[in-house]
Amino acid sequence: MKAAIVHGRGQTPVYGDFPEPVAQAGEVMLHVMAAALSPLTKTRASGSHYSSSGQYPAVAGVDGVGRTQDGRRLYFVSPRAPFGGMAEQVAVRMEQCIPLPDGLDDVMAAAIANPGMSSCAALRERARLVPGERVLVNGATGTAGRLAVQMAKHMGAKKVVATGRDEKALEELKTLGADGTISLLLPDDELEAAFKEQFAGDGIDIVLDYLWGKSAATLIVAAAKAAKDETPMRFVQIGSVSGNEISLPAAALRSSGLVLMGSGLGSVSTRGLLSAIAVVMQAAAAGKLQIKTETIPLAEVEKNWNKDSGQARVVFVL
């Protein structure tokens, strides 16, 4: 079968022939229709993600949309190594599949599943969002962050504040549900003051952090300084675009009700992740979520693997 094949750690996938998978007990064979190029897909293929199998050669792709022999459309996730979603065929356990709702096309489903799940799982499985609470999305101008703003509103957040470096994108987020924005281009003292202003008054109940790094450290310190009582603020770490480590004063934790947690593979069960994706799919089918997509033939995977599509999610189709 044709597939996007990774031949070694850190190498770009190439289009070629790979042995077809053989379905094992409990697995279903799917003809793949679409598979998205997400940050998780890229880091797992490179071997740099903590969940990477390290097995090569392997087929790239952690998820996708496929059809069964009888025509059912299913979203699937986590095929067993060395197989992946960017291939003509995939064998996946049925409990790792979700039926797609009518009205949601293959490309949209493939594109929205992973970035939508990141915020939905964080809000449902980790932070336990209660309708009426207030949410701040740190790093909201990327694909996942834009969906996080929309998901928070869809799930009942009373107020959503978005941060980012792209001023134009921050303005666009106001049309997607953001009630306020903070530019991360502000000088350090002004950025801390802007965060403290949000944490004062009615405050922020949940932070979804896609960046980590300096902005996350500034945010945590500002939250601690603005804290009025021991009321917990749940800080959910999702992505680390700005760095894998931060320097954090111990007093920031001792002097506030701040609760730090992560959300991702390992901290959320597969069942929880699939449940979150199902919520995302239903919301997308109902027209509640927006995401930009760019469709590219899988045969062109090598030259498009590192393509910068801005706020669009690249989807490879077969």
Q: Domain range holding 204?
A: 115-262
Where does the pLDDT of residue 228 fall: very low under 50, low under 70, confident under 90, or very high at 90 and above? low
Q: Answer yes or no: do 301 and 232 share one domain.
A: no
CATH number, position 250: 3.40.50.720
> What domain count does the chain have?
2
- Cβ-count burial of 58 within 10 angstroms (0-12 exposed, 13-18 middle, 19+ buried)? buried
What tens digit of pLDDT does each residue of 254-305 get? Answer: 888 889 999 988 899 988 999 999 999 999 999 999 999 999 999 999 999 9
The answer as to whether 105 is a domain residue is no
Q: Answer yes or no: do 185 and 312 share one domain.
A: no
Q: Answer yes or no: do 49 and 88 share one domain.
A: yes
Does the pTM exceed 0.75?
Answer: yes
Q: Answer yes or no: do 14 and 123 share one domain.
A: no
- Indicate whether 230 pLDDT > 70: no
What tens digit of pLDDT does each residue of 155-173 get? Answer: 999 999 999 999 999 999 9
Q: Answer yes or no: do 258 and 123 share one domain.
A: yes
Q: Please give the Cα distance from 123 to 151 (Å, whole number).
A: 9
The answer as to whether 280 is a domain residue is no
Q: Answer yes or no: do 81 and 126 share one domain.
A: no
CATH number, position 11: 3.90.180.10
Average pLDDT over residues 212-220: 95
Q: Answer yes or no: do 238 and 121 share one domain.
A: yes
Average pLDDT over residues 305-310: 78
Q: Answer yes or no: do 156 and 88 share one domain.
A: no
The answer as to whether 21 is a domain residue is yes
Predicted pLDDT of residue 202: 80
Q: Answer yes or no: do 215 and 149 share one domain.
A: yes
What tens digit of pLDDT does each residue of 29-39 get? Answer: 999 999 999 88
Q: Answer yes or no: do 223 and 250 share one domain.
A: yes
Q: Do the beta carbons of residue 37 and residue 111 sit within 8 Å? A: no
